[in-house]
């Protein structure tokens, strides 16, 4: 099972929007998908509620939690709830428990997408430890080299400490406005500072995303022309991500 963690300690950078669309996309390609919502704000959970499975995300931090697919289609959500914040105060041993429980689930699922909270607590570390791949959306409006370095250092630190072989897929510019000189300048700066860690592609800021998430449907299924355009754009990014999982 491929486990893709969408991670950035910052909020509002497009993590959840990307996580749910990646899950939808992978399910559409015929994969059996598990999505784990580790953010107590439960945005992904609200959007994907109809795929809710028996085991909550918080329960995945307890030994031998057995997660099974819902219904026939396999698309299953391990939902967030407020008890997730307690996980961060729990024993550090549960960092490894998440990885173990997901390993046990791998007979039922081909891909697992993990949405993370905007903080670097135990939950986020556990997600990075469980990851086979990590993708970090970045918002170029408030670009800072320090923030980018922090993301990469966290990834490398976890990789070393927990002997993980996770692959860093890259920093993915999100909510990108190509008409903004400020954002374009920041993108150029990011490419100069950390070019080899930048994912080839970006997700454009478009109205359709908020509507899609509210309507609980992928942006490419909405009728409005702007949503269709967003759909084409994000699908090409998602296809590039999917290709790198193999």
Ligand X SMILES: Nc1ncnc2c1ncn2[C@@H]1O[C@H](COP(=O)(O)OP(=O)(O)O)[C@@H](O)[C@H]1O
- 246 CB-near residues (< 8 Å, 6+ apart): none
Among residues 9, 28, 43, 70, which is the contact residue for ligand X, using CB under 6 A?
43
Among residues 103, 145, 156, 210, which is the contact residue for ligand X, using CB under 6 A?
210
**Among candidate residues 8, 25, 7, 12, the one with its CA nearest the CA of residue 219:** 25
Among residues 5, 38, 190, 205, which is the contact residue for ligand X, using CB under 6 A?
205
Residue 52, SS3? strand
Among residues 15, 32, 99, 186, which is the contact residue for Mg ion, using CB under 5 A?
15
State both tokens at 26. 């992978």
Q: State the nearest-atom distance from the C-beta of 10 to ligand X, in Å.
A: 7
Q: State the nearest-atom distance from the C-beta of 11 to ligand X, in Å.
A: 4
Q: State the nearest-atom distance from the C-beta of 34 to Mg ion, in Å.
A: 18
Closer CB to Mg ion, 193 or 215, in the complex: 215
Does 219 contact ligand X by CB under 6 A?
no
* DSSP calls for 139-207: EGGG--HHHHHHHHHHHHHHHHHTT---EEEEEEEESB-TT-HHHHHHHHHHHHHHGGGB-S---B--T
How far from chain centre, in Å, is Cα 34?
Answer: 12
Does 16 contact Mg ion by CB under 5 A?
yes
Closer CB to ligand X, 15 or 32, in the complex: 15
The 164-203 site mask, x for binding ligand X (CB under 6 A), equals ----------xx---------------------------x
User: Which residue in the block uniquely carries the two structure tokens 């967030």?
Assistant: 80
- 212 CB-near residues (< 8 Å, 6+ apart): 21, 218, 219, 221, 222, 227, 230
Q: State the nearest-atom distance from the C-beta of 184 to Mg ion, in Å.
A: 25
Q: State the nearest-atom distance from the C-beta of 232 to Mg ion, in Å.
A: 24
Whole-number Å distance between alpha carbons of 236 and 203: 10
**Among candidate residues 125, 188, 130, the one with its CA nearest the CA of residue 164:** 130
Given ligand X, Mg ion, none, residue 206, with its beta carbon under 5 to 8 Å by kind, binds: ligand X
Scanning residues 215 to 244, which ones bind Mg ion (CB under 5 A)? none
Does 136 contact Mg ion by CB under 5 A?
no
Does 13 contact ligand X by CB under 6 A?
yes
Residue ranges that bind ligand X, judged by CB under 6 A: 11-17, 43, 118, 174-175, 203, 205-206, 209-210, 213
């Amino acid at each position: 099972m491929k486990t893709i963690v969408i991670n950035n300690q910052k909020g509002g950078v497009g993590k959840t929007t990307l996580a749910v669309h990646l899950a939808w996309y992978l399910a559409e390609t015929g994969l059996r998908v598990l999505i784990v919502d580790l953010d107590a704000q439960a945005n992904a959970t609200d959007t994907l509620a109809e795929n809710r499975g028996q085991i909550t995300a918080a329960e995945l931090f307890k030994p031998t939690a057995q997660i099974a697919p819902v219904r026939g289609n396999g698309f299953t959500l391990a939902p967030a709830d407020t008890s997730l914040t307690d996980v961060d105060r729990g024993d550090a041993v549960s960092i490894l428990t998440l990885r173990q429980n997901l390993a046990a689930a791998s007979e039922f699922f081909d891909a697992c997408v993990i949405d993370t909270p905007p903080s670097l607590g135990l939950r986020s570390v556990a997600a990075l430890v469980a990851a086979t791949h990590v993708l970090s959306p970045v918002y170029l409006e408030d670009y800072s080299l320090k923030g980018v370095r922090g993301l990469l250092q966290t990834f490398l630190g976890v990789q070393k400490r927990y002997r993980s072989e996770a692959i860093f897929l890259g920093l993915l510019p999100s909510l990108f406005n190509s008409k903004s000189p400020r954002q374009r300048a920041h993108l150029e700066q990011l490419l100069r500072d950390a070019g080899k860690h930048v994912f080839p592609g970006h997700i454009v800021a478009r109205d359709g995303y908020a509507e899609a998430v509210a309507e609980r449907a992928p942006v490419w299924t909405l009728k409005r022309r702007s949503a269709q355009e967003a759909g084409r754009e994000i699908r090409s990014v998602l296809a590039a991500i999917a290709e790198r999982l193999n």
